[in-house]
Homo-oligomer: A and B are copies of this chain.
Amino acid sequence: MQESLLQQGLDITLYGMGIVFTFLLVLVICTTIMSRVVTRLFPEAEPVAASPVSTPASGAAGDLRLRKIIQAAIEQHRNRRR
Protein backbone atom coordinates (compact mmCIF):
# COMPACT_ATOMS: atom_id res chain seq x y z
CA MET A 1 0.00 0.00 0.00
CA GLN A 2 3.07 2.26 -0.01
CA GLU A 3 2.48 3.25 -3.59
CA SER A 4 -1.07 3.94 -2.71
CA LEU A 5 0.02 6.32 0.07
CA LEU A 6 2.43 8.07 -2.30
CA GLN A 7 -0.30 8.18 -4.89
CA GLN A 8 -2.70 9.70 -2.38
CA GLY A 9 -0.13 12.34 -1.45
CA LEU A 10 0.43 13.14 -5.09
CA ASP A 11 -3.31 13.38 -5.69
CA ILE A 12 -3.75 15.76 -2.80
CA THR A 13 -0.88 17.89 -4.04
CA LEU A 14 -1.99 18.10 -7.65
CA TYR A 15 -5.70 18.54 -7.13
CA GLY A 16 -5.20 20.63 -3.99
CA MET A 17 -2.85 23.10 -5.63
CA GLY A 18 -5.09 23.17 -8.67
CA ILE A 19 -8.16 23.98 -6.69
CA VAL A 20 -6.42 26.62 -4.59
CA PHE A 21 -5.34 28.36 -7.77
CA THR A 22 -8.68 27.93 -9.49
CA PHE A 23 -10.59 29.18 -6.49
CA LEU A 24 -8.39 32.21 -6.05
CA LEU A 25 -8.54 32.88 -9.79
CA VAL A 26 -12.33 32.87 -9.60
CA LEU A 27 -12.07 35.12 -6.55
CA VAL A 28 -9.81 37.55 -8.43
CA ILE A 29 -12.30 37.69 -11.26
CA CYS A 30 -15.33 38.08 -9.03
CA THR A 31 -13.60 40.68 -6.88
CA THR A 32 -12.59 42.70 -9.90
CA ILE A 33 -16.10 42.58 -11.30
CA MET A 34 -17.58 43.41 -7.92
CA SER A 35 -15.25 46.41 -7.52
CA ARG A 36 -16.19 47.75 -10.92
CA VAL A 37 -19.89 47.26 -10.36
CA VAL A 38 -19.81 48.87 -6.94
CA THR A 39 -17.61 51.75 -8.10
CA ARG A 40 -19.69 52.53 -11.19
CA LEU A 41 -23.20 51.85 -10.00
CA PHE A 42 -22.87 53.13 -6.45
CA PRO A 43 -20.17 55.82 -6.43
CA GLU A 44 -19.46 57.05 -2.93
CA ALA A 45 -19.11 60.65 -1.86
CA GLU A 46 -16.60 59.94 0.88
CA PRO A 47 -14.14 57.22 -0.14
CA VAL A 48 -11.95 55.55 2.45
CA ALA A 49 -8.24 55.71 1.72
CA ALA A 50 -6.18 52.56 1.84
CA SER A 51 -3.39 54.70 3.37
CA PRO A 52 -0.62 53.28 1.18
CA VAL A 53 2.47 54.80 2.79
CA SER A 54 2.39 54.37 6.53
CA THR A 55 5.20 56.46 7.97
CA PRO A 56 5.66 56.66 11.69
CA ALA A 57 3.26 59.25 13.07
CA SER A 58 5.04 62.59 12.93
CA GLY A 59 4.09 65.83 14.67
CA ALA A 60 0.83 66.75 12.97
CA ALA A 61 -0.22 63.16 12.52
CA GLY A 62 0.36 62.59 16.22
CA ASP A 63 -1.94 65.49 17.03
CA LEU A 64 -4.60 64.08 14.77
CA ARG A 65 -4.23 60.69 16.33
CA LEU A 66 -4.52 62.15 19.80
CA ARG A 67 -7.71 63.92 18.79
CA LYS A 68 -9.05 60.65 17.45
CA ILE A 69 -8.12 58.87 20.66
CA ILE A 70 -9.98 61.41 22.75
CA GLN A 71 -12.97 61.20 20.45
CA ALA A 72 -12.88 57.44 20.65
CA ALA A 73 -12.66 57.54 24.45
CA ILE A 74 -15.66 59.85 24.61
CA GLU A 75 -17.62 57.69 22.20
CA GLN A 76 -16.68 54.59 24.10
CA HIS A 77 -17.83 56.22 27.29
CA ARG A 78 -21.15 57.22 25.77
CA ASN A 79 -21.68 53.77 24.42
CA ARG A 80 -21.07 52.30 27.84
CA ARG A 81 -23.75 54.57 29.29
CA ARG A 82 -26.29 53.22 26.84
Q: Which residues of A contact B (CB under 8 A)?
A: 66, 69, 72-74, 77
Contacts and interface: CB of A to CB of B under 8 A. Distances in A.
Contacts of A77: 69, 72-73
Contacts of A69: 73-74, 77
A74 B63 CA distance: 12
Contacts of A66: 74
A60 to B, nearest CB: 17
A72 B72 CA distance: 14
A27 to B, nearest CB: 26
7 contacts: A66-B74, A69-B73, A69-B74, A69-B77, A72-B77, A73-B73, A73-B77
